[in-house]
Structure 1
Amino acid sequence: MRERAQGETSRHIGADMEAGIVARIDDRLARVAREHGVTIPLAIESGSRAWGFPSPDSDYDCRFIYVRPLDHYLALHPHRDVIETPLDAVFDVNGWDLAKALRLMLRGNAVVVEWLTSPLVYGADTAFRTEFLDLAGRAAERSLAMRHYLHLGERNRRTYLADPADVPLKKLFYALRPAVMLRWLRLNPTRAHGPMDLPTLVAETDVPANVGAEIVELLARKAETRELGRAALPDAIARLLDSEFDWAREASRVAPPAAREAARREADAFFRATVRRFDGT
């Protein structure tokens, strides 16, 4: 494998992240790069830690995007477009090929954009992250992103919050974050994606004071205890969930533009330039 292009890198590890576990994740990433012969221009934390509502026992969910050498993309039999590593007791490390990440982004998968905006970064090539995020801002389709969060939020609403008199409070967050993301999109009609973490979303969406107070209390409790227990679904939060899901259900019915060839061409150009850059040619 040719020596890859060197660029400025960034890293941001949260103060509450255990140094020993972070070091093991770093080692796992280095082994992936070495054993698979790939470059990893982005490795971030996903899951509850990056979403802003970790518990004391929250696992670590490292996700990464990787780039293979140019010759691998020219092979008659393509390599798999995912790399999965063995599950550890406290962390997991898995990643997507750049081509897969780009295709999913174009199809409205908001997970890719969340990785690009994660506040917790094990390592990121600054230019790669900036250029990919800029591309997503132009090429990601707003209505598809809304459908993504609507599907995610409503699925969790049905699965865990069907009986408002008795809900697992820990699961409430998995319906609440999509709802507040949809509220952010409603208030920012020219944008296709918002901040990843719940506290920032709440701060930027001017939720009603009673809803904000409920969320702050739940976040504080979740940060201090491994098990929140069960309780009635707070009425203010239930109204927020239902109103934002109702809005998104109507708003996302607008069909995305049929002609998205420009976005595909731009994604193709980014893919080719990135592969060449990290291949060293």
Structure 2
Amino acid sequence: MAETQKSSVTGRGTEDFDPQAVAEIRSRLQSVHRDGIRIGFAIESGSRAWGFPSPDSDYDCRFVYVRPLNDHLRLRAARDVIEFPIVGDIDTGGWDLKKALLLALKGNAVLVEWLKSPIVYEEEAGFRDRLGTLLDEIMVPGKVAQHYVGLFRQQWTLQEGAPIRLKKLLYALRPAIALEWMRQRSFVALPPMNMMECLETTEIDSTLRHAIIELVEVKKQTREMGEGKPPVQIDRFLGDIAERYRDLSLPSQRDNDEETAAHHLADKFYLQEVLSRKG
């Protein structure tokens, strides 16, 4: 079985969480370790990490793992995800590093977001730094922007001024603010995961900023936000975002040599991580 001494439970950002929920999540992670599987990092995703939790928000633990070498020497490939049953408000699941890297090469922003989560259940020393260095080299910001455009369109499809579940507003605001953050940096950098951190470093109208902060505070204090018309400033902002990114045209493809080089770097990283512990 693979060694696990290099993994350390940090609990960073979990101090205010329900101790029973944290204990259950750590128990699940330990069961992964007992199967000889390395966990590069395990973080909180979802609204708690995005900066707008409610009193009854779920605990969404996500992790990236590497199976022991022997698992790669079998004819039948192991599943590339590990899932636990959702019990109560605890949702725990992970991706094999190979799956995570292949999605990152396609522009899926999930791995980048997980990497930047401010809430950490556990991480292996140095893993996130190594992975972050790789992602800086292989991710195409234009593809990530397209990813956020897709997320935004999933959430914001109503006509201007129409009633909407107010909780849903925040799920539209998150990719909208991320897109503005990227636009203001000429789409050459990847935004923070936490929406409030992203908002803090994005230039927007002060009245809009205040309206967003007020909406977040309401969600933090109530279990059910209900339905209503969006605040005028937010409604206008989201309408502008829908128009601005209706036909987003950014370099989102590498030429053949660049694509080959990116895959080579990802292959090398994956191989090094698999071989770093034998088992």
Pairwise TM-score range, normalised by the shorter structure: over 0.9
Q: Distance in 1 between matches of 2:114 and 2:252?
A: 26
Query: How far apart, CA to CA, are the structure 2 residues paired with 1:223 and 1:4?
Result: 37
State how far apart, in whole Å, the 2-side matches of 1:246 and 1:16 are: 39
Q: Which residue of 1 aligns with 2:144?
A: 145
Q: Tell me how far apart the structure 2 counterparts of residues 17 and 4 of structure 1 sit (CA, whole Å).
A: 25
| Matches of 2:84 and 2:235, distance apart in 1 | 38
Secondary structure at the counterpart of residue 278 of structure 1: coil
Q: Distance in 2 between matches of 1:33 and 1:68?
A: 10
Partner residue, 1:49: 48
Q: Please tell me whether the aligned partners of residues 221 and 228 of structure 1 are also in contact (alpha carbons under 8 angstroms).
A: yes
Partner residue in 1 for 2:112: 113
Code of the aligned partner of 1:121: V
Matched, 1:97 2:96: yes
Contact kept, 8 Å, 2:52 with 2:216, in 1: the verdict is yes
Higher helix content, 1 or 2: 1
Q: Using the TM superposition, give the Cα deviation of residue 255 of structure 1 relative to its aligned residue in structure 2, in angstroms.
A: 4.2
- Does residue 201 (structure 1) correspond to residue 198 (structure 2)? The answer is yes
Q: Is the CA contact 1:41–1:124 (under 8 Å) kept in the aligned structure 2?
A: yes
CA distance, structure 2, for counterparts of residue 182 and residue 255 of structure 1: 15
Computed over aligned residues only, the root mean square deviation of the Cα atoms, in angstroms, reads: 1.8
Secondary structure, aligned partner of 1:279: coil
Cα pair 2:4 2:33 within 8 Å, conserved: no
Partner of residue 20, structure 2: 20
Is 1:230–2:227 an aligned residue pair?
A: yes
Q: Which amino acid aligns with 2:262?
A: A
Q: 1:9 to 1:127 in 2, by over 3 A?
A: farther
Q: 2:174 aligns with which of 161, 172, 177?
A: 177
Show structure 1 runs of 5+ residues with no match.
none
Distance between the aligned counterparts of 1:10 and 1:252, measured in 2?
41
Aligned partner of 1:221 in structure 2 is 218
Instruction: Give me the whole-angstrom Cα distance separating, in 2, the residues matched to 1:42 and 1:214.
Output: 35
Note the C-alpha offset of 1:236. Answer: 1.5
**Structure 2 regions of 5+ residues with no counterpart?**
none
Deviations 1:7-42 (A, max 9, x none): 6774413343111210111011111221x3311111
Tell me if the contact between 1:43 and 1:121 (Cα under 8 Å) persists in the aligned partners: yes
**Structure 1 range deviating more: 90-99 or 248-257:** 248-257
- Scaled by the length of structure 1, what TM-score is found? 0.92
- 1:162 is displaced (CA, Å) by 4.0
Instruction: Measure the CA separation in 2 of the matches of 1:257 and 1:243.
Output: 29
| Pairs aligned (count) | 277
Q: Which moved more, 1:268-277 or 1:249-258?
A: 249-258
1:235, distance to aligned residue in structure 2 (A): 2.3
| Kept in 2: contact 1:40–1:66 (CA 8 A) | yes
On the 8 A contact 1:4/1:279 being kept in 2, the answer is: no
Check the 8 A contact 1:145/1:192 in 2, yes or no. Answer: no
Task: Check conservation: 1:41, 1:65, Cα contact below 8 A.
Answer: yes
Q: Identity over the aligned pairs, expressed in percent?
A: 42
C-alpha separation in 1, matches of 2:91 and 2:189: 29
The offset of 1:133, in angstroms, is 1.0
Structure-2 separation of matches of 1:188 and 1:79: 40
Q: State the TM-score, normalized to the length of structure 2.
A: 0.93
**Secondary structure class of the residue paired with 1:227:** coil
More divergent stretch after superposition (130-139 vs 112-121): 130-139
The residue aligned with 1:77 is: 76
Deviations 1:62-115 (A, max 9, x none): 001111011212221110100111111110110000100010111111001100
**Contact 2:80–2:95 at 8 Å: present in 1 too?**
yes
Whether contact under 8 Å (2:7, 2:123) holds in the other structure is: no
What is the letter of the counterpart of residue 44 of structure 2?
Answer: E
2:136 counterpart letter in structure 1:
G
Structure 2: how far apart are the matches of 1:247 and 1:75?
50
